[in-house]
Structure 1
Amino acid sequence: MEEARPSRTALRVAMRRAAHQLYDAQPLIFNDPLAVSILGKEYLPEIERTQFKLNKPFSVALRAFLVTRSRHAEDLLAHAVAQGITQYVLLGAGLDTFAYRNPYPHLQVFEVDHPATQQWKRELLATNNIATRANLTWAPVDFEHQQLAAQLAAAGHDATKPTFFAWLGVVPYLTEPAFRSTLSLIASSPAGSGLVMDYGQPRSALPFLEQLAHDSLASRVQLAGEPFQLFFTPQQMAAELSAFHTIEDLGTPELNARYCDHRIDNLKLLGAAARIVSAWT
């Protein structure tokens, strides 16, 4: 991400979450009553244009993955809260709205993101009259140049208590050292802590048509100044998560079966590129 600019990919993800609320059939995969309002009038024309892409399979599949990713993360968070977890860290929070509709009074939310993106989000929240809550803490972090542990500690995170971490839409943009440093910190969290993250498979592991789709998406994020850098096969990811237990790595068939198979519209995941994995300490 360019140093002084908020994340363009965070905006694109937010617009697809908003489009899901407006154009996809009920019941929604991911019901987010703030997804549209956080963007406000400024981005509404761009959101409206997405309705004309409903017959483009890869565009629809990308939206399906993004909303499924958010739904799955919040399902896992609900399980973690039921097990007694009281701290939730959103790594690369982007325009995620959970902290402003948090139904758990005793859950402290830490939003971690690049300072430029975080400032942009705070301006959107203020402009669109979305109130922050006492159980939200901002933790600005540049993953490539700052230590996550130090920034979280400065924000009041208690490293002695179990924490649930959501790391969505971040891993492909990291260098390997930044990824492993953050993963090591999470793995060292107290027993009962959890992690959910998504990752992409390398181009070489994909069939031909998916390689073309990968190239198209990679070109767009490159132009946005946020190039892809890091990919894993499921076998490689399992090795990276060796310090965890109870690992669940879900691909397209499993995610469709859980969230999409009984829908009356064409919202479903395609291909094998993107996966969502959860793990517990």
Structure 2
Amino acid sequence: MDTAPLSGVGATSLGVARARAWESRRPDRLFDDPYAAAFAAAAARKVSSTGTRAPVSPERARLAFHVIIRTRFYDDFLLSACTAGCRQVVLLAAGLDTRAYRLPWPPGVRLYELDLPEVLAFKDNVLTGEGARPRCTRTALEADLRDDWPQRLTGAGFDPSAPTTWLVEGLLVYLTAEEAATVLTRVGELSAPGSRISLERHNAASIIAERDREGIAEYASLWKGGLGQDTADWLDRHGWRTELHALADVAASYDRPIPDASLSGFLTATRGA
């Protein structure tokens, strides 16, 4: 079954897939996403013959670097949580994420992916064509995260009484501060003590774009800012214990020199009793 090309916020997941495909071709790759190139190829087939792709600007290169480092960081975060005993994982705005298919999950992991219907349809169409098989129990749920998605999640078997590991990758910048707070409030309400969450520290994309938005205009036009620099404080005020992870430090731990100074990075947090 063919699917329509992605547009709007959904189309941003293609940029992420291209960065992951590029990294996966490196001999010293930080991760291997065997399906990222297939997503990019499928999208390219749907672009009209008059369409062109923007050149690789310095801003695009910085954003791709951030995507690559955060992919490995979040891979490690999720696997560490599951190795420690968590068996319930939720990816909010999962996009073209293929962690259900490419990571070595422990037995018994149930992974839930939430995203817009057109994103999941495009993704599943490509993965079916590639013969992909998940390495955990995967449940994909169509949802607009600005609406009442918790009911869909619990209706699909999610257990709020069990510790959960949440990944909020590249989402909050596309929401207003109020919308971002609502999403995280709902996450908190569904999180048993000991649950974990990881997301961006500040809005890395916005920091990159402060220099020049023209190089990534199609992304920047969709940004609403999220909680900005208040994200960690917000979590601390709402029952989480946060840790900060600077992008430069994380990149150095992977032997990848950061291209320039940056305030961006990541947050991990654990739900208190």
TM-score, shorter chain, exceeding 0.5: yes
| Contact in 2 for aligned 1:39/1:128 (Cα 8 Å) | no
Structure 2 CA distance for aligned equivalents of residues 274 and 13 of structure 1: 17
Pairs aligned (count): 256
Instruction: Indicate the SS of the match to 1:196.
Output: strand
Q: Render the CA deviation track for 1:66-109: whole Å, top value 9, x for unaligned.
A: 01111111111122112210011011111111111242231111
Structure 1 CA distance for aligned equivalents of residues 12 and 246 of structure 2: 22
Structure 1 CA distance for aligned equivalents of residues 144 and 215 of structure 2: 24
The higher-RCO structure (CA 8 Å, 6+ apart) is: 1
Whether 1:255 and 2:250 are equivalent positions in the alignment is: yes
Instruction: Indicate the SS of the match to 2:248.
Output: helix
Alignment of 1:260-271 (within 5 A): 262-263=255-256, 268-271=258-261
Q: In the TM superposition, what is the alpha-carbon distance from 1:140 to its structure 2 partner?
A: 1.1
Look up the equivalent residue of 2:16 and give its one-letter code.
V
Structure 1 CA distance for aligned equivalents of residues 35 and 205 of structure 2: 34
Q: Compared with structure 1, are the counterparts of its residues 201 and 40 closer, same or farther at alpha carbon in structure 2 (3 Å cutoff)?
A: closer
TM-score, structure 2 as length reference:
0.81
**Structure 1 unaligned spans of 5+:** none
Instruction: Indicate the SS of the match to 1:197.
Output: strand
Structure 2 CA distance for aligned equivalents of residues 154 and 232 of structure 1: 29
Look up the equivalent residue of 1:103 and give its one-letter code.
P
Structure 1 CA distance for aligned equivalents of residues 266 and 144 of structure 2: 23
| Contact in 2 for aligned 1:138/1:155 (Cα 8 Å) | no
The correspondence for 2:18, drawn from 15, 21, 43, is 15
Task: Show the counterpart of 2:143.
Answer: 141
Structure 2 CA distance for aligned equivalents of residues 201 and 60 of structure 1: 13
Look up the equivalent residue of 1:249 and give its one-letter code.
L
Q: Compared with structure 1, are the counterparts of its residues 122 and 272 closer, same or farther at alpha carbon in structure 2 (3 Å cutoff)?
A: same
Look up the equivalent residue of 1:148 and give its one-letter code.
W
Alignment of 1:1-281 (within 5 A): 5=7, 7-22=10-25, 24=26, 26-40=27-41, 43=44, 53=56, 57-104=58-105, 105-132=107-134, 135-144=137-146, 146-188=147-189, 189-198=191-200, 199-200=202-203, 211-213=210-212, 215-216=213-214, 219-221=217-219, 227-234=222-229, 236-242=230-236, 243-259=238-254, 262-263=255-256, 268-272=258-262, 274-281=264-271
Q: In the TM superposition, what is the alpha-carbon distance from 1:61 to its structure 2 partner?
A: 2.4
Same amino acid, percent of matched pairs: 24
Q: In the TM superposition, what is the alpha-carbon distance from 1:38 to its structure 2 partner?
A: 4.4
| Contact in 2 for aligned 1:87/1:107 (Cα 8 Å) | yes
| Contact in 1 for aligned 2:111/2:139 (Cα 8 Å) | yes
Look up the equivalent residue of 2:130 and give its one-letter code.
N
Instruction: Indicate the SS of the match to 1:69.
Output: helix
| Contact in 1 for aligned 2:180/2:226 (Cα 8 Å) | no
Q: In the TM superposition, what is the alpha-carbon distance from 1:143 to its structure 2 partner?
A: 1.3
TM-score, structure 1 as length reference:
0.79
Q: In the TM superposition, what is the alpha-carbon distance from 1:30 to its structure 2 partner?
A: 2.4
Q: Compared with structure 1, are the counterparts of its residues 29 and 201 closer, same or farther at alpha carbon in structure 2 (3 Å cutoff)?
A: closer
Structure 2 CA distance for aligned equivalents of residues 192 and 84 of structure 1: 11
Q: In the TM superposition, what is the alpha-carbon distance from 1:133 to its structure 2 partner?
A: 5.8
Q: Render the CA deviation track for 1:153-188: whole Å, top value 9, x for unaligned.
A: 122111110010111011100122321122112223
Q: In the TM superposition, what is the alpha-carbon distance from 1:33 to its structure 2 partner?
A: 3.0
